[in-house]
Structure 1
Amino acid sequence: LVPRRTKYRKAQKGRTPLALGGSLKGTTLEWGDYGLRVNEAVRLSAKHLEVAEAALKRGLKPIRGSKVYMRVFPDIPVCIKGNETRMGKGKGTFEFWACRQMGRVIFEIGGPNLRPEMAHAVMRLAAAKLPCTSEVIDKSSVARLG
């Protein structure tokens, strides 16, 4: 998961957003029947997303016609300086791609033969791969404010 091109090679650190209310954008399902919503402010790396997506696909393999939708994309370059490096001499080198999320749906799954208990089990597998708390939602779940 890498952007094709970016305007700048390096980005400022930025902060994960706080839950102050406001927009409901991205907190409900768009395409699938079940989703995984992040409950806290977190920086997810491309590796986290790839591993979680692989777990979802592995769990859904026996179910014919099932599909995985990824709602987020890692587009922030993270740069890190080495350990025990003195201050100065510029910003560190590029390390990995990441995205900052708070209360958003990051994965959705859907399909004609997808049973609720199977969907919840598969989503729990993917949630275990992520460095944050998350919840499984469905079409009847309400939007999350903040």
Structure 2
Amino acid sequence: MALMPKRVKHRKSQRGRIKGNATRGNTVVFGDYGIQSLDAGWIKATTIEAGRIAAQQYVRGQGKLYIRIFPDKSVTSTPLETRMGKGKGEPDFWAAVVKPGTILYELSGVTEQQAKVCFARLASKMPVKVRFVERRSA
């Protein structure tokens, strides 16, 4: 089951613009390793779920995966071959808005080498460029 909000105030949202870098959610907090977005974009709920499945199949219960993004933006579309007018389309899918610097996933309980291999599999499913990051010890 793909991620989506339980309820929202408004079913249809405007597209908006993604400006600047992430100021929140840009550090590894829960796990030891993470992947960080280098581009801005939308990540669909189905893509987040595909990444979760790919990572969990690799770690097989020996590590814990944390998903740091949530799809709370509804994206609408009108049916194909529909004439102009007649209003905004119906919600088609849910997406998470990601800025450069946002941590997407975190992993704990595995070695650095295992985390790199796991996140390499996960990165191939992401629509944005990502990089491997470690938790800062401070």
Q: Same fold (TM over 0.5)?
A: yes
1:13 to 12, 15, 27: 15
Q: 1:24 to 1:8 in 2, by over 3 A?
A: closer
Task: Tell me how far apart the structure 2 counterparts of residues 60 and 14 of structure 1 sit (CA, whole Å).
Answer: 36
2:106 maps to 108
1:120 aligns with 2:119: no
The one-letter code sitting in structure 2 at the alignment partner of 1:132 is V
TM-score (norm 1): 0.86
CA deviation after TM superposition for structure 1 residue 11, in Å:
0.8
CA deviation after TM superposition for structure 1 residue 2, in Å:
1.2
Q: Render the CA deviation track for 1:75-108: whole Å, top value 9, x for unaligned.
A: 1111001233222101111110001101200100
The one-letter code sitting in structure 2 at the alignment partner of 1:56 is A
2:40 maps to 41
- RMSD between superposed Cα atoms in Å: 1.5
TM-score (norm 2): 0.90
Q: Is the 8 A contact 2:26 2:103 kept in 1?
A: yes
Q: Which runs of 5+ in 1 are unaligned?
A: 142-146
Q: Render the CA deviation track for 1:9-36: whole Å, top value 9, x for unaligned.
A: 1111112x233x5x63211101100001
How many residue pairs get matched? 134
1:136 maps to 132
Identity of aligned residues (%): 34
Task: Tell me how far apart the structure 1 counterparts of residues 112 and 27 of structure 2 sit (CA, whole Å).
Answer: 17
1:73 maps to 70
CA deviation after TM superposition for structure 1 residue 140, in Å:
3.5
Q: Which runs of 5+ in 2 are unaligned?
A: none
CA deviation after TM superposition for structure 1 residue 115, in Å:
1.1
